[in-house]
């Protein structure tokens, strides 16, 4: 009897022989995608941002997170000691004036009363504090004395605009004394150059800051709308004209940040947020100016040129740079949010064309959505910034989620994107964002349609 090991060895030898005689089966190799077997134009890019048309519910969710965060960080009710707790942001700052106006826009776009309540409660507090200040005879140590004693445009302009809008909706707020105070300061007390331009004496004597377009001019226009007094409309338009004469760089369709009377040449540093304040000024003024005002066409023309200059400099990530025309400066959130709002608002109001600027607007919002974290904090924002005449100053300004400058613009942008999505029908077509006047969402690829 043969040993089992012999049988096993024989079987192995037979199997080896069979394997040697059997041709090797080809191994499946991955198919190489090429122009003849694959529609290469439909391959999905590896974007760093969520490129596409945002859903309105997602935009609203972003806004709600911001609201929850800033509501907790801006207390308005006194604690057990009778004092209002200190939050991360100041209720009377110009940044928060922007935030108040943005909250009102969000309430209008979404129908969510929580945004209206946020503004109403804090405006009511400021009105009560102002009355207490007056009753106390102007106590110097009063914690909100800045409400009653503005010393600069920053102290009153943006807050004034938000109060005018809220006062019209809620006359019971009794904001008119503060509104009148702020309008009087801007019109009659702020420092000006000899030609009447709103100005400062820092960092040099007789300096014009682009920021001050926003800090002063919209309040004048809105006060004109509140009172019906044409002189405030006229002054708002005149100030825009004066700023344009000194700050506008026509070959780039951008504004410089600063202008000093003593300079023969005026270096042009196109700081992102300051250009944001300028275009936001024009949006606010156009909202307030009567349609038949003789200066309206001039303001609208400047707005359109500015949109053109800004759109040409948007980065591939949807953001704009800290210095707009210097691509090695960092990508900055607050300027991007302002531009997203101003573009969207211009489209919604019919000032600019949706097919031309709608995709850039949604790209900007897609970018902003990536810097709103789960807590509702807006990241990537340049902190408060003075004026300089060298690039390093702007390149190395710190960023912080506690820089208040991005919160109002981000809320503004989200609210206006919701309004934009209500008016138009953007969709992905051939992998790109396109805007349409009709809803084609149930159809396949569209390559040529009429209005």
Cα R_g (the chain), whole angstroms: 29
- Average pLDDT value for residue range 267-280: 98
Residue 324 — very low, low, confident or very high, per pLDDT cuts 50/70/90?
A: very high
* Residue range(s) defining the domain that contains residue 284: 191-312
Residue 375 has pLDDT above 70, yes or no: yes
For residue 232, the domain's CATH number is: 1.50.10.20
The pLDDT tens digits of the residues spanning 203-247 come to 999 999 999 999 999 999 999 999 999 999 999 999 999 999 999
- Average pLDDT value for residue range 91-112: 97
Is 419 domain-assigned?
no
Kindly report the three-state secondary structure assignment for every residue of 316-333.
CCCCEECECCCCCCCEEH
Domains of the chain: total: 1
Other beta carbons less than 10 A from residue 156's beta carbon:
30
Residue 104 — very low, low, confident or very high, per pLDDT cuts 50/70/90?
A: very high
The pLDDT tens digits of the residues spanning 109-119 come to 999 999 999 99
- Average pLDDT value for residue range 162-188: 97
Is 213 domain-assigned?
yes
Any idea what the Cα angle at residue 39 is, between residues 37 and 41, rounded to 5°? 145
Is 325 domain-assigned?
no
pLDDT at position 140, please?
55
Is 200 domain-assigned?
yes
Is 259 domain-assigned?
yes
* pTM, two decimal places: 0.91
Residue 79 — very low, low, confident or very high, per pLDDT cuts 50/70/90?
A: confident
* Rounded distance between C-alpha atoms, residue 48 and residue 62, angstroms: 19
Is 306 domain-assigned?
yes
pLDDT at position 23, please?
55
Is 26 domain-assigned?
no
Is 214 domain-assigned?
yes
Residue 448 has pLDDT above 80, yes or no: no
């Amino acid at each position: 009897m043969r040993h089992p090991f012999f049988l096993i060895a024989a079987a192995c030898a037979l199997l080896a022989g069979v394997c040697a005689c059997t041709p090797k089966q080809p191994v499946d190799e991955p198919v190489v995608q090429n122009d003849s077997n694959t529609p290469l134009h439909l391959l999905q890019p590896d974007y760093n941002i969520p490129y596409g048309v945002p859903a309105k519910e997602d935009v609203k969710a972003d806004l709600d997170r911001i609201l929850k965060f800033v509501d907790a960080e801006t207390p308005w009710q006194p604690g057990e000691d009778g004092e209002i707790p200190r939050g991360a942001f100041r209720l009377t700052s110009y940044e928060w004036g922007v935030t108040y106006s943005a909250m009102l826009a969000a309430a209008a776009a979404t129908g969510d009363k929580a945004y209206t309540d946020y503004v109403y409660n804090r405006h009511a507090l400021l009105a009560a504090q102002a009355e207490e200040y007056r009753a106390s005879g102007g106590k110097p140590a009063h914690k909100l004395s800045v409400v009653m004693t503005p010393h600069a445009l920053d102290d009153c302009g943006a807050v004034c605009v938000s109060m005018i809008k809220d006062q019209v909706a809620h006359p019971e707020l009794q904001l008119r004394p503060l509104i009148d105070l702020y309008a009087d300061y801007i019109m009659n007390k702020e420092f000006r150059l000899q030609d009447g331009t709103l100005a400062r004496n820092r960092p040099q004597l007789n300096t014009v800051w682009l920021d001050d377009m926003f800090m002063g001019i919209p309040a004048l226009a809105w006060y004109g709308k509140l009172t019906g007094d044409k002189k405030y409309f006229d002054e708002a338009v005149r100030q825009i004209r004066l700023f344009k004469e000194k700050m506008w760089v026509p070959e780039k369709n951008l504004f410089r940040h600063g202008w000093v009377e003593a300079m023969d040449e005026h270096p042009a540093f196109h700081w992102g947020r300051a250009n944001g304040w300028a275009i936001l000024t024009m949006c606010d003024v156009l909202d307030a100016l009567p349609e038949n005002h003789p200066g309206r066409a001039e303001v609208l023309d400047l707005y359109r040129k500015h949109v053109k200059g800004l759109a040409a400099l948007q980065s591939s990530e949807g953001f704009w740079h800290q210095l707009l025309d210097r691509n090695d400066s960092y990508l900055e959130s607050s300027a991007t949010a302002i531009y997203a709002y101003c573009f969207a608002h211009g489209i919604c109001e019919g000032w600019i064309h949706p097919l031309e600027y709608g995709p850039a607007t949604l790209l900007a919002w897609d970018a902003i959505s990536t810097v709103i974290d789960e807590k509702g904090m807006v990241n990537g924002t340049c902190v408060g910034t003075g004026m300089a005449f060298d690039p390093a100053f702007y390149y190395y300004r710190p960023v912080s989620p506690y820089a208040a400058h991005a919160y109002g613009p981000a809320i503004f942008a989200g609210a206006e994107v919701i309004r934009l999505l209500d008016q138009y029908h953007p969709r992905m077509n051939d992998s790109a964002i396109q805007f349409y006047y009709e809803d084609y969402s149930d159809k396949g690829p569209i390559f040529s349609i009429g209005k």
